[in-house]
A and B are shown apart, each in its own frame.
Chain A
Amino acid sequence: GNSVTQMEGPVTLSEEAFLTINCTYTATGYPSLFWYVQYPGEGLQLLLKATKADDKGSNKGFEATYRKETTSFHLEKGSVQVSDSAVYFCALSDQGGGSYIPTFGRGTSLIVHP
């Protein structure tokens, strides 16, 4: 079956530091990959996505590249801000088998200090 593994948190950084949150996946077909962000007290919202190998998703200074050879989709940002403090979820949606069910990682909490 499909699975998503992401690094455990919390990740604690100072403002303007470089961020990497690792995400690897297992899928039977050719999935699309997503990063969602959840701010305190809110639902998840899409941060970025990539639909095929070597695609790069980007939004709000965050980037992630779909690496089929390493089955990875690591999230990066060059300079984090306090406002980036949130929980980040890696997810996949697999076309194989016609499934409508996405698979989520367990989430990584990011805390950014001034």
Chain B
Amino acid sequence: NAGVTQTPKFQVLKTGQSMTLQCAQDMNHNSMYWYRQDPGMGLRLIYYSASEGTTDKGEVPNGYNVSRLNKREFSLRLESAAPSQTSVYFCASSEPRLAGVKETQYFGPGTRLLVL
């Protein structure tokens, strides 16, 4: 099992450029998430997908869009990058919700994005 994989690992963009961050998981998890991590801010949720075919906004969705392509894949798109979107982006997935068992999150290695 590869777990959660993310591509690319690093990216430099110019202001106004667009890009898509890819995420895939091979653990058959229903729920997937995109976070950004900034110094002193901890993790902030951008979007999440509770199950295939559904997506919902998190705490900081502005400037981003997502696609839950299938159960395995969840992509994050920046349509017009801004310097404020310089961050480390993490994708995560979580176990199915079973009676009495609450989700553990499994994280990818992250994408480091610099917007100039």
Q: Which residues of A pack against B, CB within 8 Å?
A: 31-32, 34, 36, 42-46, 49, 51, 89, 91, 93, 95, 100-102, 104-107
Contact = CB atoms under 8 A, between A and B. Distances in A.
B110 A101 contact: no
Contacts, number: 56
A106 B101 contact: no
Interface of B: 4, 31, 40-43, 45, 48, 50, 58, 90, 92, 94, 97, 100-110
B104 A49 contact: yes
A100 B103 contact: yes
A51 B105 contact: no
B31 A44 contact: no
Given A89-B43, A100-B48, A104-B42, A34 B108 contact: no
A82 to B, nearest CB: 22
A71 B92 CA distance: 26
A61 B44 CA distance: 29
A101 B58 contact: yes
A51 B107 contact: no
Contact of B102 (A31, A36, A44, A105): A31
B56 to A, nearest CB: 9
B40 A100 contact: no
Given A43-B109, A100-B48, A105-B42, 16 more contacts: A36-B105, A36-B107, A43-B108, A43-B110, A44-B43, A44-B105, A44-B107, A46-B105, A46-B106, A51-B101, A93-B103, A101-B45, A102-B94, A102-B103, A106-B40, A107-B43
